[in-house]
Amino acid sequence: MRAAIIPNLEKMYTEDIVRRAVEILAQNRIESLLPSSVYPVFGVGASCGDRDIYRLADWVICIGGDGTILHTAKKAAAENKPVLGINAGRVGFMAGLERDELDKLALLRTGEYALENRMLLQATVSADGKTFYCLNDAVISKGSLARMIDITVDLGGEQISYRADGLIAATPSGSTAYSMSAGGPVLDPSIESIILTPICPHSLFSRSILLSADARISLSAAGAPGTRVYLSVDGEEAHLLEPGSVVEIRRAEDLTVRLIKLKKDSFYQTLSRKLM
C-alpha cells in the first residue's frame, strides 16, 4: 500500500512532519511516495514522478496549511483518491491531523477512518472556454483601483444585480473562508448549496443568498473605463476577464473531494476550536 506525501516546503514544521510521517507509515507497512521535485530535500521514502504520484497512491497526504490542502485535494479528486491534510500552517481548518497527532496515521493501514465528501464548483469563462475548479470559492473582483463594479447574476432568466467590490460563489467548505470574512453564513459541509456573498456592497440590504447545489449561475461584471475585472479560484492566481465575458458557475460534474477523517471530532468542534 502506498501513500503520496505532498509537502509545502515554505512551512516551518514541514521537514519534521515529513520524516516522522514516513517513519510511522513504514512501521505500518505503507510505502511513502514523495514527488521527485522535492525528494532530494528529504531523502526518505521513494521518489515518484510529479504526474504519476496521485495515480499510484492509495491515499494522498498533504502537509501545509489550508492553501496546500485546497490545491492538493483537487489533484487527488481528479484521480478519485482520498486526501488527508496535516496542518503545518496557522489555522488549518481543513486539516485532518495536527503535527502532534501523527501516530494516528497507523489507522490508515487498519481502515479505521471515515471519508467525508466535499462538493466542488467549476467556473467556465465564455471568452476563452477555460474551466477552473474550486473547493472553496470562485471570486469575481475588481483590480486595485478604488472603484466598484456592477455585477449581474443570472439564474435561469432571473436576475440579481450588485454594485460592489466583487462577488463570492462559495461551496459549504468555502463558507468558513473568504465568504465568512465578507459576512456570509457558515454551512455544515453536509448541506449541499452554493453561497453567493457580495464583497463590500454599496447597499445596506445586500446579503448572502443560498442557492441549490444544482443551480447554474451566469455572472457578468463591468466597471468604469479602465477598470479590470478578475476571476480567482481558491485564492490562486487571478484570471483577467475580457470585457463582456460571462462566467458560468455550477457544481462540478463527476468530481468530488474525499477528505480522510482519522479523528472523531465533529465539524462543530473544529469550528469552535479554530474559528471562535
Which three cell numbers mark 24? 510511522
103: number of Cβ within 10 Å: 11
pLDDT tens-digit profile of 52-101? 999 999 999 999 999 999 999 999 999 999 999 999 988 888 999 999 99
Contact 197, 183 (CB under 8 A): yes
Provide the pLDDT for residue 273: 86
Q: Is 154 among the residues known to form the active site?
A: no
Provide the pLDDT for residue 158: 95
Provide the pLDDT for residue 223: 85
Q: From CA 67, how far away is CA 49, in angstroms rounded? A: 22
Q: Which residues contact 120 (CB under 8 A, 6 or more apart)?
A: 74, 77, 133, 134, 135, 171, 251, 252, 255, 256, 257
Which three cell numbers mark 33? 511516495
Provide the pLDDT for residue 242: 92
DSSP-based three-state secondary structure for 153: strand
Contact 160, 209 (CB under 8 A): yes
Q: Which of 66, 137, 165, 234 is catalytic?
A: 66
pLDDT tens-digit profile of 216-255? 999 999 988 878 999 999 998 899 999 999 999 999 988 9
Provide the pLDDT for residue 180: 96
Provide the pLDDT for residue 239: 94
Contact 209, 185 (CB under 8 A): no
pLDDT tens-digit profile of 32-42? 999 999 999 99
| Single pTM value for the model | 0.93
Provide the pLDDT for residue 34: 98
Residue 145 has pLDDT above 80, yes or no: no
Domain range annotation of the chain: 2-112, 120-254
Residue ranges in the chain assigned as alpha helix (H): 14-27, 39-42, 53-56, 66-78, 107-110, 178-181, 267-275
Residue 144 has pLDDT above 80, yes or no: no
The conformation of residue 186, written as its DSSP 8-state character, comes to P
Provide the pLDDT for residue 168: 99
Residue 146 has pLDDT above 80, yes or no: no
The conformation of residue 65, written as its DSSP 8-state character, comes to S
- Mean pLDDT score of the chain: 94
Q: From CA 166, how far away is CA 139, in angstroms rounded? A: 7
Is CATH 2.60.200.30 the right assignment for the domain spanning 120-254?
A: yes
Average pLDDT over residues 16-25: 98
226: number of Cβ within 10 Å: 8
Class of the 2-112 domain? alpha beta
Provide the pLDDT for residue 37: 95
Q: From CA 133, how far away is CA 271, in angstroms rounded? A: 25
Q: From CA 16, how far away is CA 42, in angstroms rounded? A: 10
120: number of Cβ within 10 Å: 20
Q: From CA 185, how far away is CA 195, in angstroms rounded? A: 8
pLDDT tens-digit profile of 152-206? 999 999 999 999 999 999 999 999 999 999 999 999 999 999 999 999 999 988 8
Provide the pLDDT for residue 230: 95
